[in-house]
Amino acid sequence: MVQGFGNVGYHASKFLQEEDSAKIIAVGEWDGAIHDPKGIDVEKLQAHRRRTGSILGFPGAKTLRRSVDCLCLACDILIPAALENQIHRDNAHRVRAKVIAEAANGPITAAADGILRRKGVLVIPDVFLNAGGVTVSYFEWSKNLTHMHYGRMSRHLENLEAELFIKETEALTGKKFGPRARKVLLRSHDELALVNSGLEDTMRSAYREIRSVLKRRKKIEDLRMASYTLAIERISQAYLDLGIFP
C-alpha cells in the first residue's frame, strides 16, 4: 500500500512490482485513494493519471474518498510517501500494516510512534530509508573529485576473470554455458548498474548496523532510536578522531 504517487511513491511502487513481484493493493493521492485487493498495475495507473489528471476512476479499483483512508487498509507493507504527520494518535490504532516504510519525511507523529510500537508494527524510519539520495550524491561527488568514471579501473579485469571462470567450468563439467548465461557473465556493467550495486551494498550494511544497535542496547525499543543512536555515535567518534574532544 502506497500513499503518495509522486516521484517517490511512483518509483517505489514500480520497482517493488517489477523487481520483487510485490502486489500494490492501494494507492493514495491528494484527491482520494483507490483500492484493489487483486493488485494495481503501476504503469497502467500512471498512464491513467496522465490521461485523466487523477488516479481516481482507475478501472477495476474501488475509490476511497480520502487519501488517509488507505492508511488503515490491511496490508503487509505500508509506504507513506506523501506528507508529514499522516499517521497520528487518532488513526494509529487503526493501522493494520505489519511494516511501515517511511518514504516521506516525518509521516508518523511521536504519539503514533508509541502506539505502533506497542501494536508490534515494525517502522523503518525516514532517516534511514531516505538516505539513498544522499548516498548517491556522495558517489557523484567522489566521482567528480577523481574525474574517473565508475568501473574504468576494474572492467577489463572483471571480463578476464569471467572468461577464465567460463573456460575452467566448461572444462571441468564438459558442458557449455548457454548464450544467455555467457552474455550475462561477460557483460560490461554500465555506470548505473555500478551505482545501484554500491547503493544496495551501502543500505544493507547500514541496516545491519542499525539492527545491531537495537539488539545491543536494551533500552532502545525501535529502529528509529537505533538510527539516531548510531548517528550520534558516528558523529562523536568523528570528533574524537579529529581531536576536538580531549
Please provide residue 41's backbone torsions phi and psi, each rounded to the nearest 5 degrees.
-75, 115
Give Cα separations from 68 to 29, 76, 78, 87, 205 (angstroms): 9, 17, 12, 8, 33
The pLDDT value given to residue 246: 59
CATH code for the domain defined by 2-124: 3.40.50.720
**Mean local confidence (pLDDT), 131-151:** 86
Best CATH choice for the domain 132-241 from the list 3.40.50.740, 3.40.50.720, 3.30.1330.80, 1.10.1740.10: 3.40.50.720
Question: So what's the pLDDT on residue 154?
Answer: 72
Residue-range domain boundaries for the chain: 2-124, 132-241
Three-class secondary structure assignment of the chain: CEECCCHHHHHHHHHHHHHHCCCCCEEEECCEEEECCCCCCHHHHHHHHHHHCCCCCCCCCEEECCHHHHHHCCEEEEEECCCCCCECCCCHHHCCEEEEECCCCCCECHHHHHHHHHHCCEEECHHHHCHHHHHHHHHHHHHHHHCCCCCCCCHHHHHHHHHHHHHHHHHHHCCCCCHHHHHHHHCCCCHHHHHHHHHHHHHHHHHHHHHHHHHHCCCCCCHHHHHHHHHHHHHHHHHHHCCCCC
Residue 153: its pLDDT value, please?
A: 67
Q: What is the pLDDT of residue 40?
A: 98
d(C-alpha 60, C-alpha 45), whole Å:
11
Burial class (CB in 10 A: 0-12, 13-18, 19+), 177: middle
* Common-topology check for domains 2-124 and 132-241: yes
Confidence of residue 188 (pLDDT cuts 50, 70, 90): low
Q: What is the mean pLDDT of the chain?
A: 92
Question: Is 24 a residue whose pLDDT tops 90?
Answer: yes
Asked if 219 and 160 count as a contact pair (C-beta separation under 8 A), the reply is no
C-alpha cell read off for 113: 510512534
- pLDDT, tens digit, for every residue of 34-68? 999 999 999 999 999 999 999 999 999 999 999 99
Model-wide pTM > 0.75: yes
Residues 6+ apart with CB under 8 A from 64: 26, 28, 32, 33, 34, 35, 70
Cβ count within 10 A of residue 142 = 11
